[in-house]
Amino acid sequence: MSFLVDQNLSPMVADAFVSVGHDVVHTDALGLARADDAVILQRAETEYRVVVSADTDFGDLLVLHGSRKPSIILIRRPVERRADQVVALLLANLPAVKEDLGSGAIVVLDGDRVRSRSPPIT
């Protein structure tokens, strides 16, 4: 599974995720640091990547367009966490949501709480 980390999370999140063997790229590395969310979603869909973000707009865009892909992992309260804590949160919960992400989902990671919804959400 491949991931695209949005600009509202540190590039260190992408680097740390790569260091444990995942295929991850940060929007900065793609020249998308200031890109519109729709452009980032399109890039993630084209490259079969799961978007990892703290921006709720990505889920809203999927719902608005009735899309199932790309999958989104929404990190809640990222300002309260360092990059290594965000990565630990991702790694701890990835096995439980991997199947959902593969078929199209919006996954919300909020501390010890995990929610997964499959679009289209009405």
Ordered mean pLDDT values, 10 residues apiece, the chain (122 residues) = 93 92 95 92 94 89 83 81 86 93 91 81 54
77 falls within a domain: yes
pLDDT at 50: 96
From CA 6, how far away is CA 99, in angstroms rounded?
22
Domains of the chain: total? 1
Backbone angles phi, psi at 13, to 5 degrees: -65, -50
- Return the pLDDT at 57: 87
**52 with 23: CB under 8 angstroms?**
no
pLDDT for 111 equals 75
Classify residue 22: in a domain, yes or no.
Answer: yes
Amino acid, res. 73: I
Domain housing 14: 2-117
Sign of CA dihedral 11, 86, 68, 7: negative
Here the CATH number for the domain that contains residue 25 is 3.40.50
Residue 21 lies in a domain: yes
Cβ atoms of 105 and 97 within 8 Å: the answer is yes
| Entry pTM | 0.91
**Amino acid 29: pLDDT:** 95
3-state DSSP call for residue 105?
coil
> Is the residue at 122 inside a domain?
no
